[in-house]
Amino acid sequence: MKNSDQTSDTRPRRRRIPFLLRATFAGLAIALTSLWALTVSYDISREELIGFLIGSVLLLLGVLISAALLVTGIKLLGFLFSRIKRPTGDSEPD
């Protein structure tokens, strides 16, 4: 049996930063280190690197916007299709 002294947790709290935030920081650190290594090894100028980064960001934004528009269009078509298929009540003439 455990007494009250054994049930208290005296270990230091390891995860003060949430897991997803730590993973994001680690990914950014790896990406920046990789870009630095590429620029050093291939003698890439700052202008070319900035152009590459801007192009990559614009490509990602285009993909995100296209995906959002596609999902919105599919949802809208589903909504309209369900409105058309729904019975409108008694439409028979008396």
Measured in degrees and rounded to the nearest 5, phi and psi for residue 26 equal -65, -40
Tell which wins on pLDDT, 72 or 56.
Answer: 72
pLDDT at 53: 86
pLDDT of residue 11 exceeding 60, the answer is: no
pLDDT given at position 25: 93
Rg of the chain in Å (alpha carbons): 28
How does pLDDT run across 22-63, given as a tens digit for each residue?
Answer: 999 999 999 889 988 888 888 888 899 889 889 988 999 999
pTM of the model: 0.54
Distance (Å, whole) CA 73 – CA 81: 12
Interior CA angle at 81 toward 76 and 82, to 5°? 100
State the first-to-last Cα distance of the chain, in angstroms, to the nearest integer: 81
Alpha-carbon distance 70 to 12, whole Å?
A: 47
